[in-house]
Structure 1
């Protein structure tokens, strides 16, 4: 079960909050992503990796009026 706390301004609502373990997992996922990006940069070059990131950002920004089913982390 996810912990919930009262919404600070809307008494009808509750906020789902991340646990310490959940926050630690997000930090670890970001570390793994950064490690993989370094490998990609070594493989294709930093410039090409930047171009790929720019292309992905353009896709996210223009796809379905900016609505994307997943949150990008690049």
Structure 2
């Protein structure tokens, strides 16, 4: 199951973005904003990768057409036995 991005993190990012648009940010707030954004992106990428790795793709005829690269990862993680 994919990891959720904490709402606290999103809330703080949005607070800093709003403050930047209205009154501006101090140097420490700019550094905090950069760090929070990097953390957000890392968590998003991890979650997205996990979602894609869990996915199985089928065509209209019902045949599995999951890409070989994804199948290999699923086998390594023990999610497939074929």
Instruction: Specify the TM-score bucket, using the shorter chain as the normaliser.
Output: 0.3 to 0.5
Which of the pair is proportionally richer in strand?
A: 1
The structure whose Rg is larger is 2
Which of 1 and 2 has higher RCO (CA within 8 Å, sep 6+)?
2
TM-score (norm 1): 0.35
